[in-house]
């Protein structure tokens, strides 16, 4: 139940057994079924979720009803609406499960308590936020300057098994292109390979 | 705001049945029902769906999986089964709200309020579920009585029961409360 989180933390910092046992008490284990929501756009985001098993996405829906996917998150990843989580303001994104999921949830007050009681976790979260910032910066600059083909290549390098786990129209939404364009790029790349 | 996923373990008990029916009819929350008496549970689900065809209610068999999936777990079980149940679900109820449905048995008939305010039993629950937020609930004939040391959990359950039309009443020490609990427990006899 806590295997991936333990691994994720140990890759970045060292906790004593006692600290790890205490750390686990701040999290709420939760199973989500495929398509079940963790967060609805407009509700305050109460949790940050760590994914032990499954895949999730965060997205918004525009006035025309089109989905815009901000993030995919697989095992070992964190997902939340950061702004809403820290401010208590209504969320700008919805978060739902793309597969049956097992997640570990933590609330904002518990997160603060954990930092106070286990100071080593401050470093863990600093590294986490640092990595997240880098990923967002890359995604932003990719969106501004990459061609559709470059975006596709970047995605397949970052998430090698994404097409096995996520429907094609969602991948297209994540890349900010139509599914027809995505399909053309995939065909072209396949021909290049052969 | 989206509804909760609520697991009720022990729906063949009168308190569990009543809670399942009220929440089912209200229809906002997903209900996961568990009881050893599977036929009785299936019957209860049929009854709920007759009253509200849109009710999100289903029967599960694994207590651990149901409690893992749930945001709130309601337990209507005999005290002597508590330790066995706790072993099965303890690790998946961390930080979750547990509704402890107070069971008043025939032996409690003269002093219903004493059974409700049994602090020894209450301590057992804290030992069995050290990181859960326990709210004790008794659905009486006039109102529903609640008690918890956790204010957030008490608020959550009060809102949930209000929406389900169970008339929650968090003040336990009034004469009306005690009379109602005693009245109810005498009816059991």
Per-residue pLDDT tens digits for B109-161? 445 555 555 666 677 788 899 999 999 888 887 778 888 889 999 999 999 99
Residue B100 has pLDDT above 50, yes or no: yes
Find, in chain A, the residue whose alpha carbon is nearest to that of B68: A30
Q: Are A112 and A32 in contact (CB under 8 A)?
A: no
pLDDT at A193: 72
Q: Which residue from A39, A15, A186, A35 is spatially nearest to A107, judged by alpha carbons?
A: A39
B61-90 pLDDT, tens digit per residue, is: 999 999 999 999 999 998 888 889 999 999
Q: Is A25 on the interface with B (CB under 8 A)?
A: yes
Cβ B94–A28 below 8 Å, yes or no? yes
Token pair recorded at residue B3:
């509804």
Interface subset of B 127-156, CB within 8 angstroms of A: 131
Q: What mean pLDDT value characterizes chain B?
A: 84
- What mean pLDDT comes out for the span B31-46? 94
**Closest partner CB to B68 (pick from A26, A29, A37):** A29
Task: Calculate how close chain B gets to A113, using CA atoms only, in Å.
Answer: 13
A13 to each of A7, A52, A182, B116, how far by Cα in Å?
10, 19, 39, 47
Q: Which residue from A94, A69, A73, A79 is spatially nearest to A162, judged by alpha carbons?
A: A73
Assessment of whether the complete model's pTM goes beyond 0.80: yes
Q: Which residues of B touch A32 (CB under 8 A)?
A: 69
**Closest partner CB to B2 (pick from A1, A43, A105):** A43
- Strand ranges of the sheet holding A101-107, from the earlier edge strand across to the other edge: A28-32, A101-107, A47-53, A78-79
DSSP-derived pairing of the beta strands A28-32 and A94-97:
unpaired
Longest dimension (CA), chain B: 43
Cβ B65–A31 below 8 Å, yes or no? yes
**Closest partner CB to B68 (pick from A26, A31, A110):** A31
Predicted ipTM beyond 0.90: no
pLDDT at B107: 47
pLDDT, tens digit only, all 194 positions of chain A: 999 999 999 999 999 999 999 999 999 999 999 999 999 999 999 999 999 999 999 999 999 888 999 999 999 999 999 999 999 999 999 999 999 999 999 999 999 999 999 999 999 999 999 998 998 898 888 888 888 888 888 888 888 888 889 998 999 999 988 889 999 998 888 887 76
């Amino acid at each position: 139940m806590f295997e991936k989180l333990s691994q994720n933390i140990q890759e970045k910092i060292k906790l004593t057994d006692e600290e790890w046992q205490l750390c686990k008490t701040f999290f709420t284990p939760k199973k989500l079924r495929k398509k079940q929501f963790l967060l609805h756009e407009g509700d305050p985001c109460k949790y940050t979720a760590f994914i032990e098993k499954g895949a999730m996405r965060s997205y918004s829906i525009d006035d025309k009803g089109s989905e815009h996917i901000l993030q995919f998150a697989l095992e070992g990843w964190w997902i939340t609406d950061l702004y809403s989580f820290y401010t208590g303001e209504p969320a700008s994104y919805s978060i739902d499960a793309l597969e049956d999921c097992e997640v570990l949830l933590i609330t904002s007050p518990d997160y603060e308590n954990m930092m106070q009681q286990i100071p080593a976790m401050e470093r863990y979260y600093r590294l986490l936020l640092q990595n997240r910032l880098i990923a967002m910066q890359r995604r932003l600059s990719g969106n501004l300057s990459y061609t559709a083909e470059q975006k596709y290549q970047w995605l397949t390098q970052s998430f090698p098994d994404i097409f096995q786990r996520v429907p094609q129209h969602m991948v297209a939404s994540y890349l900010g292109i139509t599914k027809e364009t995505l399909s053309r790029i995939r065909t072209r790349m396949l021909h290049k390979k052969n | 705001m989206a509804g909760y996923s609520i697991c009720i373990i022990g729906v063949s008990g009168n308190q569990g049945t009543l809670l399942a029916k009220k929440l089912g009819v209200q229809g906002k929350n997903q209900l996961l029902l568990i009881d050893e008496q599977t036929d009785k549970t299936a019957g209860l689900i049929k009854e709920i769906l007759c009253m509200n065809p849109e009710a999100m209610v289903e029967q599960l068999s694994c207590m651990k999986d149901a409690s893992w999936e749930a945001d709130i777990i309601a337990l209507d079980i005999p005290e002597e089964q508590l330790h066995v149940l706790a072993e099965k679900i303890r690790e998946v109820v961390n930080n979750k709200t547990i509704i402890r449905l107070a069971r008043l048995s025939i032996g409690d008939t003269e002093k219903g309020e004493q059974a409700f305010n049994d602090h020894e039993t209450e301590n057992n629950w804290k030992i069995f579920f050290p990181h859960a937020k326990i709210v004790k609930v008794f659905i009486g004939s006039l109102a529903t009585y609640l008690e918890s040391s956790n204010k957030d959990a008490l608020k959550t359950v009060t809102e949930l029961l209000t929406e389900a039309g169970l008339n929650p009443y968090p003040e336990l020490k009034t004469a009306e409360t005690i009379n109602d609990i005693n009245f109810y427990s005498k009816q059991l006899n």
